[in-house]
Amino acid sequence: MKYLVANWKMNQIDFISWQDEFLKNFDNANFKDIKIILCPNSTELAKINDNKIDEFLLGAQDVSRHLDGPFTGQISAKILKNKNVQFCLLGHSEIRAEGETNETVLQKAARLDTEQIEKILCIGESQKVLEKGERNEFLKNQLESFFKSNHKPAFIAYEPIWAIGTGIAANTDSIKDSVDIISKFIKNYFDFSIPILYGGSVSSENIKEIVSITGIEGCLVGNASLDSKEFANIATKI
């Protein structure tokens, strides 16, 4: 089984035509080998939930660390649950860049656990960390902070910040090194593995090579998921 997560970020998608176009370009028989999780903007969750085919799972891009109440602009885990959201991204670098800390990631994880929404934990180093040779320590620190609690994510998405939105994915050696760091770390905590996804400029050109890396079980796709034909190509080639 392979996994694809579409992160539509703050982009408005006409879901009905996106889905039509996707289905025109993707052979239905292949749905048995792939799980696709769509993460739209939160205002679109209900619309997509009402119209999607069963094969698409529904994910959110973020959740509030608060239970409910006066938190303008935020969305609670309970609201997500009521919209049938099954997954939620946690700790995406674009949210960390706005001030999210490892601590707030944990608070959000606890809210998601209460509502039994599966977590997709995003981790990844910056260009600066990479250049300083501190990737190993940085990733371990992000993981350590998450796993010292009892939260268990459904997926770990390794997303090097320097590859996100650039059009140039990390090369296979670099991804392999990170997979190695992550899987060794997980082995210390659990007697089972957690699927690792790669994210950062995935396209129909590079998907095959990326998922051929041992330990990579799917991808998180930003820009390329906005174009449903391109996303269908990615899903076909995975």
Q: Respond yes or no: is residue 144 known to be catalytic.
A: no
Q: How far is CA 112 from CA 156, 187, 218, in A?
A: 16, 24, 22
- Largest pairwise CA distance in the chain: 48
Give the integer Cα–Cα distance in Å for 199 and 61. 14
Contact string 2-31 vs ligand PEP (x = CB under 6 A): -----x------------------------
> What minimum distance in Å lies between the beta carbon of 8 and ligand PEP?
10
Distance CA 159, CA 197 (A): 8
Distance CA 12, CA 210 (A): 28
Is 92 an active-site residue? yes
230 binds ligand PEP (CB under 6 A): no
What is the C-alpha to C-alpha distance for residues 201 and 221, in angstroms, rounded to an integer? 7
Strand partners, 59: 87
Output the residue with the shortest Cβ distance to ligand PEP.
222
- The DSSP code for 163 is G
199 touches ligand PEP (CB under 6 A)? yes
Examine residue 204 and tell whether it contacts ligand PEP (CB under 6 A). no
Least CB distance to ligand PEP at residue 163 (A)? 6
* Dihedrals phi, psi of 35, to nearest 5 degrees: -115, 130
**What x/- string results for residues 152 through 171 when contact with ligand PEP is judged by CB under 6 A?**
-------x----xx------
| Catalytic one of 94, 100, 125, 159 | 159
Residue from the set 42, 223, 228, 233 that interacts with ligand PEP by CB under 6 A: 223
Candidates 39, 63, 181, 220; binder of ligand PEP (CB under 6 A) is 220
Residues in the chain: 238
Which residues in this chain contact ligand PEP in the complex, by CB under 6 A? 7, 159, 164-165, 199-202, 220-224
Active site residues: 92, 159
